[in-house]
A and B are shown apart, each in its own frame.
Chain A
Amino acid sequence: MRTPFRHTAVLACALWAGLGALPAAAQELTISAAASLGNAMRDIGTAYQATRPGVKLNFNFAASGALLAQLQQGAPVDVFASADLDTMDRAQAAKLTHPETRVNFAANELVLVSPLARPPAARTLADLAGTGVGRIAVGTPASVPAGRYAQAALEAQGLWSAVSPKLVFADNVRQALNYVSRAEVDAGLVYRTDALIDKAQVRIDAVVPTVQPVLYPIAVVAASTNAAAAAEFVRFAAGPPGQAVLARHGFRAP
C-alpha cells in the first residue's frame, strides 16, 4: 500500500476498535410521553435516576397520536404515556403495550388562554364565536388529545360550526401554547399545566369543562427489551414520588 493510504487505514482501524471498546451504556430506558408532560417527566426522570444511578433515561416528547404512530412503526420505546385514554386504548388494541402495567397517573384541566400582551378577547368558551376573536390555537384533533378535548367541548356547547373556521391547528399542545405566547393568535385552548409554564406571556381566562376527564395513562411497551426496569419506572411515576413531582407542575391526582 502507498504510505499515506496505509496511515489512513491504520487510523481508521484504530478508531473502529476504540469505538467498539467503549463500555456499553448501563440500562437505558426510552420513554415516549405526551408533549404536555415534558417538564414534569424530566423532573420525574431526575428523581428516578437519583434512586437508580445505573439507569439512563431518554425522553421522547410529541403529540400522543404521533407517538402512537411511531410505536406502530416499531420505535424502540420502553414506556408510553399519553394525554388521553383513547390513544392508550388504541395502543392496547394493537397489542403495543402490556395491559397489566397500565395505570392512570395524572389528570389535567383544559383552559382558555390569551396573550398577556393584549386584553383578553374571550372570557368564556362562548365568546370565541364572537367577532372580537380572530384566530384560536388548538392542537390538531386527529393526533393531539388537547385538540380532541377542545373539539368535544366546543361541540358540546354547540359552538363548533361557528368557531372551527377560526382555528389554527398546531402539531402539539406546546406549539399551540407558543402561538399564544407570541400573540400570533387571539386565544388558545391548552392544558392548565402548559399555561402555567408561560405565566409571563400567557393568561388563563377560563377553565373549560371537558366532556371526558383529562386523564394520563402510562404503560410498559410490549416490545420493550427492558420490561422489568420499565415497569419499575411506571410504578415510580404513578407512586408517591412521581405524584409529588406532578403536583408541583400543576397536575391533579388521577
Chain B
Amino acid sequence: MLDWTGIDLTALWLTLKVAAWATLIALVLGVACGHALARARWPGRRWLAAALTLPMVLPPTVLGYYLIVLLGRNGPLGGWLLSHWGITLMFTWQGAVVAATAVAFPFVFISARAAFEGVDARLEQAARVLGAGEFKVFVQVSLPLAVRGIAAGTTLAFARGMGEFGATLMIAGNIPGKTQTLSLAVHDAVQSGNDALANALVVLISVVCMLALVASSHLLNAKPLSTATP
C-alpha cells in the first residue's frame, strides 16, 4: 500500500530548496513589478502586465519548451551564459529553480499589484508632503500596508513552486539525487507501476504542503493591521 523505504529524501530536500529559491526570487521580482504597474498610466501597461502573467496561464509543457529554447545551449540566453560564464542551466537544480520561478512569479505579481493598488494613495501623499523620498515612501508606507496581499500571493507561489512538474521535467532532466523533485519522483513511480511508492510520495507531499499552508496562515493572522483614519 505505502512504500516508505523507497522514498529518496534527497528529492524532498531538493523540492524544498527549489521551491524556496523560486519563491524568494519571485517575491523580489513580483513586488518590484507589482509596485511599478500598480499606479501605472503609461501606454502598453496592460500588455506588459499580461506578458508577466503569461507563465501562469500557459500549459507547463509550453513553458518548458520556451525555457528549453531560451536556456538551451543554442538558445539566446543559454548560449550567452555558456560562452561568457561557463554556466549551463539545463539538467541542473538551478534550471529547476528557473522553471519554478517562472510559474510562481505571476502569483506574487498579481497579488502585489492588487495590494499596492489597494493602499490609500493619500497616505503615500502625506508621507511625501512630510518630506519622505520615494524609497522611504515605498518601504515605510506602501509596503507595510500591502504586506497582507503580498504574503497571500507568496504562499500560493511557494505551493506552485513545490508542485511544478511539466517545465521542470523538460529542463531539469529528472536525474535522481540531483534534479528529481518530488513531483518528478511521483511521475516516475507511476510510470514504472510502483503504486506503493507513488502513494507514499503523495502522502509526503500532501503533508508538507499542508504544513506550509497552516504555517503561513499562522503568520498572517498575527496582528490585524488597521489603516487608522486620521
Contact = CB atoms under 8 A, between A and B. Distances in A.
Q: Is the interface of B mostly helix, strand, loop or mixed?
A: loop
A65 B189 CA distance: 10
Nearest to B169: A171
Interface in B114-130: none
B174 A140 contact: yes
Interface string B179-193: 000000000101111
Contacts, number: 52
A69 B72 contact: no
A82 to B, nearest CB: 13
Contacts of A183: 73-74
Nearest to A72: B193
Contact of B193 (A65, A170, A184): A65
Contacts of A171: 169, 174, 191
B90 interface: yes
A63 B191 contact: yes
B68 interface: yes
Interface residues of A, number: 21
B174 A169 contact: yes
Contact of A142 (B74, B175, B192): B192
Nearest to B192: A142
A199 interface: no
Contacts of B91: 135, 168, 184
Contacts of A222: none
Given A167-B175, A169-B176, A143 B74 contact: no
B173 interface: yes
Contacts of A69: 190-193
A66 interface: yes
Nearest to B179: A168
Residue from the set A72, A168, A183, A184 with the largest chain B CB neighbour count within 10 Å: A184
Interface of B: 68, 72-74, 90-91, 169, 173-176, 188, 190-194
Query: Across chains A and B, which 10 residue pairs bring their CB atoms closest together, nearest first?
Result: A142-B192, A143-B191, A168-B173, A143-B192, A66-B191, A169-B174, A184-B90, A69-B193, A65-B192, A65-B191
